[in-house]
Amino acid sequence: MATPTIFSIIVLVMSVVIHEVSHGYMAYVLGDPTAKLAGRLTLNPIAHIDPFGSVILPLLLSLLPGGIVFGWAKPVPYNPYNLQAGKWGPAYVAAAGPASNILLAVIFGLLIRFAPTLNLNPAIITIFGVVVLVNVMLALFNLIPIPPLDGATILLSVLPPRFRHLEESLHRQRFFLILLAVLVAGFVIDKLLPLIFTALTGLAF
């Protein structure tokens, strides 16, 4: 699915912003004001943009064959000790980010499916397709259970207490695990992205 680079990057930036704001808002709902006090509960991209992850990397990826862009924003800070949900608090905060991406993908996928009824312009359908594509990628990537991704936080939160020592051990291997996460993400996204995109939109990938 060929799309103009500028639209892809704009969609990516707004999607990662919504992802991070969702983390912060969930933490705020659970009793932690850290993100709010830091001015991060805003959809203004300037508050969230990471120069490399939000701008440089997507531009570099757009030059590669396939033109799929990917990236991230600055992580929203939160204090797990302020959360009023016990051991599940970090899991709820972590899950809020991918959940927002899944919700966006479903909403825009349904809009594409109802495009004939809504009499949508083909250019609009293309843009909506980019929204689905980017948000499915973000959800799949972040749900991989490898630190520092959201999937790892969710997994460590639900494991029995006797496994909690794994968190410190895994964080010591942070650099290696990031490389592993990228490799795993490439495989997972390659296999699942076309299937999920077609299921949501009814369009061929």
| Cα distance between residue 198 and residue 163, in whole Å | 38
How confident is the model at residue 2, as a pLDDT? 43
Q: Where are the domains of the chain?
A: 5-201
Q: Residue 120 carries which DSSP code? A: -
Given pLDDT bands bounded at 50, 70 and 90, which one contains residue 1?
very low
**pLDDT > 60? residue 5:** yes
| 3 state SS for 6-25 | HHHHHHHHHHHHHHHHHHHH
With beta carbons less than 8 A apart as the criterion, state whether 136 and 101 touch.
Answer: yes
pLDDT > 90? residue 4:
no
Choose among 120, 145, 146, 117: nearest CA to 131: 120
Counting residues of the chain whose pLDDT is more than 70, the rounded percentage is 90
Range from 28-32, 93-97, 134-138, 156-160 carrying the lowest mean pLDDT: 156-160
Dihedral sign (CA 52, 58, 62, 68): positive
The answer, as to whether pTM is greater than 0.85, is yes
Q: Which residue has the higher pLDDT, 147 or 81?
A: 81
User: Which residues are tagged catalytic?
Assistant: 20
86, pLDDT greater than 90: no
pLDDT at 3 over 70: no
How many alpha carbons fall within 13 Å on the CB side of residue 144?
24
Inform me whether the pLDDT recorded for 108 exceeds 90.
yes
Q: Between vectors from CA 179 to CA 176 and to CA 182, what angle results, nearest 5°?
A: 150
Instruction: State the maximum Cα–Cα separation within the chain, in Å, rounded to a whole number.
Output: 56
166-204, pLDDT tens digit by residue?
A: 666 666 666 677 777 777 777 888 889 999 999 999 998
Q: What mean pLDDT is predicted for residues 98-121?
A: 96
What is the distance of C-alpha 31 from the center of its chain?
23
The pLDDT of residue 7 is 83
Q: Look over the chain and give the mean of its residue pLDDT values, rounded to a whole number.
A: 88
Structure confidence at residue 41 (pLDDT): 97
Mean pLDDT, residues 149-159 taken together? 88
